Amino acid sequence: MRELYQLGDRDFLIKLQDRGIKLRTSEGRLRVNAPAGVLSQPLQEELLRRKVRLLALLNADTASRIHVDGKVFPLTYAQERIWLMEQFHPGTPAYNIPEAFVVEASVDLAAWQPSVEPF
């Protein structure tokens, strides 16, 4: 636990995720979901100590939500973690999985083209 006190807030969030502890905001409040027995008293105290900063950090991470047709959808925890890692190491190919395929059929290139073009 002692090492958690020394971490910055983003690293602290990642360590919590590694332990299965999930944080989110709801109506301006910090919500915590953790497996049984993981949220010790010292860890609860550390969360309270960092609460204001964690709320600000989580609320600032608007990029960690998907916006589609005017609706907002939260990312999965795995997607959030990838997003956080991208903030630390922009442009890293760590989560890219290169793959090549041979297509032995006719392909509608006009329909396929937008899926491989950059934003």
Residues 2-15: tens digit of each pLDDT: 577 778 888 888 88
The predicted model scores a pTM of 0.50
Residues 73-92: tens digit of each pLDDT: 777 778 777 877 777 777 77
Count Cβ atoms within 10 A of the Cβ of residue 23 and give its class: 0-12 exposed, 13-18 middle, 19 or more buried. buried
Count Cβ atoms within 10 A of the Cβ of residue 32 and give its class: 0-12 exposed, 13-18 middle, 19 or more buried. middle
Which residues in the chain come in under a pLDDT of 50?
Answer: none
Cα gap 72→67, rounded to integer Å? 5
DSSP 67-111: EETTEEEEPPHHHHHHHHHHHHSTT--TT---------S---HHH
Q: Which structural domains are found in the chain, ordered by start? A: 2-63 (1.10.10)
